[in-house]
C-alpha cells in the first residue's frame, strides 16, 4: 500500500467552533479526566478507605473503653437512678395512714362487743390488716379490710372478754396496701355503686308468743351480682353514742332477690335509739361473687 501523500492539516482546537456549545477548556478537562480515570478512582478509594478506617478505629476505641470501663460506670449509674426513682416513687405513692376513732367496748350477757370507726383517705388504695381490741390486760383480735375512700364501723362481737362498757384500745398490724389497677377498674365509684346496690327496709322490733324480741327487716339485692354471703354490721345508737352492736350474715343473696331477716336481739330492744344496717363486703375479692348461672 502506498503511503498517504495528502497534506496534513494542523487543527487548532482554540479556533474550533463547537455546535454543542462546549468550550475548548471543557473538552480539555474531559480529556484529562478520561486519560486519568484510573488514577482518580485510586485516589477516591484511598480517601474513602482512610475515612472508613478512621471511623473503624474510633468505634473500636469506643467499644474497648465501654467493655473495660463503661459497663461498670453504667451499673453504678443505673443503681443510683433506681435508688432515686424508687425512693421518689415510694414517697409519691405512699398511702395515707388509716384513721380511727376511740374504740369502744360494750358489755354483753356473754362477754363483750367492740366497735371502732375507721377511715381510708386513699381513693385508689385498699388495705387488708390484722387488728386487736385491748380491754385491760386482755385482747380480742381478728382480720379485716377497708376499701378505697371508705369509712366503716369495724365490729367484733361475742368476745369472751369480761370488761365493763367504756373505751378500749385499738391496735392495727400487718397492713397490706393494694393499689387499684386502672385497666381493671377505671372508675372506682362506678365499680362500687354497681356492686353494692342494696335496699334495706326500716328495721323494727317485734315480739312473738314466746316473748322473745326480734329485729326484723328486708334486704333486696338490686345489683346485677349474686353473693355467697353478705355480712351486715348493725349499730344501735342514740345521738353520737353507740348503745349496742350486732352482726348478721345473709347467705346466698342472688341478684334482684329480696330476703326477710329475723334476728334475735333481746339486749337491744329496751335501749331505744336509731338502728343503722350496713353491708360489709370486700368488693375487690372475686371469691364473694356467685357465678351468673347459679342465680
DSSP annotation of 20 reads T
Percent of the chain surpassing pLDDT 90? 53
Q: Mind listing the pLDDT tens digit for each residue in 183-231?
A: 899 999 999 999 999 999 999 998 876 777 889 999 999 999 999 999 9
Closest CA to 160 of 183, 182, 135, 179: 135
Average pLDDT, the chain: 85
DSSP annotation of 66 reads I
Residue with cell 503511503: 3
Q: Strand 204-207 relative to strand 166-179: parallel, antiparallel, unpaired?
A: unpaired
Q: Looking at the DSSP assignment, which residues form a beta bridge with residue 246?
A: 234
Closest CA to 234 of 278, 270, 194: 278
Is residue 44 exposed (0-12), middle (13-18) or buried (19+ Cβ within 10 Å)?
exposed
Chain centre distance of CA 146? 16
Q: Mind listing the pLDDT tens digit for each residue in 15-44?
A: 556 565 556 666 666 666 677 777 777 788
Specify the pLDDT at position 294.
46
The DSSP-derived string for 170-218 is: EEEEEEEEEEPPTTT-S-HHHHHHHH--EEEPPPEEEE-TT--EEEEEE
Supply the pTM of this predicted model: 0.68
Q: How many residues in total does the chain contain?
A: 295
Q: Mind listing the pLDDT tens digit for each residue in 109-134?
A: 778 999 999 999 999 999 999 999 99
Q: Mind listing the pLDDT tens digit for each residue in 157-172?
A: 999 998 888 999 999 9
Separation CA 152–CA 169 (nearest Å): 17
Please list, residue by residue across 256-271, b when 16 or more beta carbons sit within 10 angstroms of its beta carbon and e when fewer do: eeeeebebebebbbee
Amino acid at each position: 500500500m502506498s503511503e498517504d501523500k495528502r497534506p496534513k492539516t494542523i487543527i487548532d482546537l482554540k479556533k474550533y467552533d463547537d455546535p454543542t456549545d462546549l468550550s475548548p477548556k471543557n473538552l480539555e478537562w474531559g480529556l484529562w479526566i478520561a486519560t486519568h480515570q484510573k488514577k482518580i478512582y485510586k485516589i477516591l478509594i484511598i480517601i474513602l478507605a482512610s475515612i472508613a478506617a478512621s471511623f473503624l478505629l474510633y468505634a473500636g476505641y469506643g467499644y474497648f473503653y465501654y467493655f473495660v470501663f463503661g459497663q461498670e460506670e453504667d451499673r453504678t449509674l443505673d443503681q443510683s437512678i433506681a435508688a432515686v426513682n424508687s425512693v421518689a416513687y415510694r414517697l409519691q405513692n405512699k398511702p395515707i395512714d388509716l384513721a380511727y376513732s376511740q374504740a369502744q367496748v360494750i358489755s354483753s350477757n356473754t362477754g363483750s362487743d367492740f366497735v371502732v370507726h375507721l377511715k381510708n383517705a386513699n381513693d385508689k388504695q385498699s388495705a387488708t390488716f390484722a387488728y386487736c381490741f385491748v380491754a385491760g390486760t386482755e385482747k380480742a383480735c381478728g382480720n379485716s379490710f377497708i376499701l378505697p375512700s371508705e369509712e366503716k364501723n369495724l365490729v367484733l362481737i361475742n368476745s369472751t372478754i369480761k370488761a365493763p362498757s367504756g373505751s378500749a384500745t385499738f391496735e392495727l398490724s400487718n397492713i397490706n396496701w393494694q393499689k387499684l389497677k386502672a385497666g381493671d377498674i377505671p372508675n372506682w365509684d362506678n365499680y362500687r355503686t354497681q356492686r353494692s346496690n342494696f335496699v334495706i327496709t326500716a328495721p323494727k322490733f317485734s315480739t312473738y308468743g314466746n316473748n322473745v324480741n326480734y329485729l326484723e327487716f328486708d334486704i333486696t339485692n338490686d345489683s346485677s351480682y349474686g353473693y355467697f354471703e353478705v355480712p351486715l354490721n348493725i349499730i344501735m345508737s342514740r345521738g353520737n353514742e353507740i348503745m349496742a352492736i350486732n352482726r348478721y350474715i345473709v347467705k346466698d343473696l342472688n341478684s334482684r332477690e329480696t330476703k326477710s331477716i329475723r334476728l334475735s336481739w333481746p339486749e337491744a330492744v329496751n335501749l331505744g335509739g336509731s338502728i343503722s344496717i350496713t353491708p360489709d363486703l370486700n368488693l375487690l375479692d372475686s371469691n364473694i361473687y356467685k357465678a351468673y348461672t347459679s342465680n
